[in-house]
Amino acid sequence: MSDTAEVVVVGGGAMGAASAWQLARRGVDVTLLEQFEPGHRHGASHGASRNFNLSYEDPGLLAWLHEADGLWQELEAETGSELLTRTGIINHGPGRDQNRAVQALRDGGFDVEHLDAREAADRWPGFRFAGPVFHTPQAGRLHADRAVAALGSAAAVRGARIRHQTAVLDGSAGDDGVRVRVRTADGSEDTIRARRAIITAGAWTTDVLTALGIEASLPPLRVTQEQPAFFAPRDGSTAWPGFNHTPAADDAATAWFPSGVYGMGSPGEGIKAGWHGVGPETHPDRRTYVPDPGLSDAIVRYAREWLPGVDSAAFSEITCTYTSTPDSAFVLERIGPVALGAGFSGHGFKFTPVIGRVLADLVVDPR
């Protein structure tokens, strides 16, 4: 059996679903392949919450945030699904030049409030602050599972073929297009032929490139298993914005952190808090799904010392993957007939619909 498409997208997480949506909106004939079932927990796109964090200083990324904001709203209107909730996000900790960050955000067209520690504690009693805080009220929380489902359904409504439980076996990519041989849920094999391809395979990126015989000079892609925790709030009426806490090596109160901390209120799960990109390296097919006890102990200590609004002894954890580049910059490249999106380094989800647009541009209007 064989199938044809103008573009085949390999990897049906957030970035692949966004690529399919962007292509389908342009009337492109597209097939999306995902090796697992809908809503699976094996990659990086699952869960109820991601911060829509605006706290960047790079003008290009700030422009992308404005574009992403508009596209998330378009997707909400198109699907009737609530995806982005404006909770605001607070940033604190001695490891960041707050004045520089605030100025960059204002120059980039975003609203920012700058507060001292006492003002911030009065406003957000669930936190302890040891210095100034800046707040971005236009920031918020994205519902990850709902967003991936909305992207896929919006793409399908516009004609995209979404094929779950369809794993890549091998294939080729060259001047005559792309061939992808796959195994389906019933064990049968199929071949998809397309003029172009987009690869958004997350932690499986290197495996898919190898299977398709694609050679590319890329930055190293480091796959780690991460483990955010969800703490029970002491008071259900307490306001919980998203948050980022940046440590400094010369600050005794934070120097012990393995990394910066991010978090947010997560619907139905509690107050989410996690370390950023410091989990054990793994292969996605061989990960344990078991949280590292040292990192668990550290995040409990963090909650005990810095989140007085939660019960640090009442928590649960999940695991997910990060696929990171050395400088946390995204890989968005064209390799012959293939566009590659990879290395989103634990901070890409907020940009999802823009990444889909960029990857669609690379295969529809290559430059």
d(CA 237, CA 255): 32
Q: At what angle do helices 352-364 and 59-79 cross, to 10 degrees?
A: 100
From the list 189, 199, 196, the residue with the least C-alpha distance to 173 is 196
pLDDT for 277? 97
pLDDT for 239? 84
pLDDT for 352? 98
Query: Do 251 and 329 contact (CB within 8 A), yes or no?
Result: no
Give residue for tokens 């989410």.
272
Q: How many C-beta atoms surround the C-beta of residue 173 within 10 A?
A: 21
pLDDT for 366? 59
Task: List strands edge to edge, sheet with 133-136.
Answer: 113-115, 133-136, 89-92, 242-245, 261-266, 270-275, 229-233, 310-317
pLDDT for 15? 98
Coil vs helix vs strand at 26: coil
Mean pLDDT by 10 residues, the chain (367 residues): 89 98 98 97 97 98 98 98 98 98 98 98 97 98 98 98 98 96 95 98 98 94 98 92 98 98 96 98 97 98 98 98 98 97 98 98 81
Q: At 113, which helix (H) or strand (E)?
A: strand 113-115
pLDDT for 238? 86
Q: How many C-beta atoms surround the C-beta of residue 312 within 10 A?
A: 19
Reading phi first (left if > 0) and then psi (alpha if -120 to 50, else beta), residue 75 is in alpha
pLDDT for 316? 98
Query: Do 264 and 87 contact (CB within 8 A), yes or no?
Result: yes
Q: pLDDT tens, 258-308?
A: 999 999 999 999 999 999 999 999 999 999 999 999 999 999 999 999 999
Coil vs helix vs strand at 104: helix
Q: How many C-beta atoms surround the C-beta of residue 3 within 10 A?
A: 15
Q: How many C-beta atoms surround the C-beta of residue 155 within 10 A?
A: 27
Residue 87 one-letter amino acid? T
Domains and CATH numbers, the chain: 2-46+146-221+326-364 (3.50.50.60), 86-136+222-324 (3.30.9.10)
- CA distances 128 to 51, 56, 95, 122, Å, are 20, 23, 16, 10
pLDDT for 264? 98
